[in-house]
Amino acid sequence: MTVEGRPLRVVELAQGFAGPVCGRLFAALGHEVVKCEPPGGDYLRGRGERGDAARLMAHGFAAVNAGKHSVVVDLGTVEGRDAARSLVDTADVVVSDLHPAEAERLGIVGSTPMWTPTCRSHARTASSPRRSAGSP
C-alpha cells in the first residue's frame, strides 16, 4: 500500500506490544514509521534481565521497534503536544494506544485515521483490543 506512489508515513504513539507490533508490521513492509516515546523511553526498554548490560534495549523492545525512527515527545507539556500534533498532521496513519477521548483532550487528534487498540467506533480504524487469553 502506498500513497501517491510513496510509502506511507506512520506515526506511532504507543508503548508496550500491541501498538508497536502494528507499527513494526508497517516498517517491515517498507513504510516510514516514527515512534514517539516519552522522556523516560518506552517502558518496554527496561524489560531486560537484571544485570544485563543491554537492559535498556531489551530484546522484546528491539524486536517490535526495529526499522522505526524514534523521537522523544512529552505529552505532558505544551511543546510535546505541539510536536505530536505536527507529526500527526503529516501522517498517513497514526497508531496509538491512547483512548480517543484522551487524544482529543490532549489536542493531538487530526484528520488522519487512528488505529487504536481501545476503540472500535471510528471509521477507517483497525481494532485489536488487548485482552488476556480466555477473556470474553
- Of the candidate ranges 38-42, 48-52, 98-102, 131-135, the one whose mean pLDDT is the lowest: 131-135
Nine-digit cell at 4? 501517491
Using the predicted structure, report yes or no on whether residue 53 has a pLDDT greater than 70: no
Quick one: which of 13, 31, 108 has its CA closest to 68? 31
Q: What is the pLDDT of residue 119?
A: 37
Q: How far apart are CA 84 and CA 86, in angstroms?
A: 5
- For the segment 11-41, what is each residue's pLDDT rounded down to a tens digit? 999 988 889 999 999 999 999 999 999 998 8
Q: What is the pLDDT of residue 113?
A: 55
Nine-digit cell at 26? 508497517
Judge if pTM exceeds 0.85: no
What is the DSSP pairing of strand 93-96 with strand 9-13? parallel
Q: What is the pLDDT of residue 121?
A: 33
- Rounded to whole angstroms, the maximal C-alpha distance in the chain is 48
Question: Alpha carbon 118 to chain centroid distance?
Answer: 13
Q: What residue ranges define each of the domains in the chain, with the CATH number in brackets? A: 2-115 (3.40.50.10540)
- For the segment 67-123, what is each residue's pLDDT rounded down to a tens digit? 999 999 999 999 999 999 999 888 888 898 888 788 888 888 765 555 544 333 333
- Between the CA atoms of 92, 97, 103 and 109, what dihedral angle is there, to the nearest 10 degrees? 10
What is the DSSP pairing of strand 32-37 with strand 114-115? unpaired
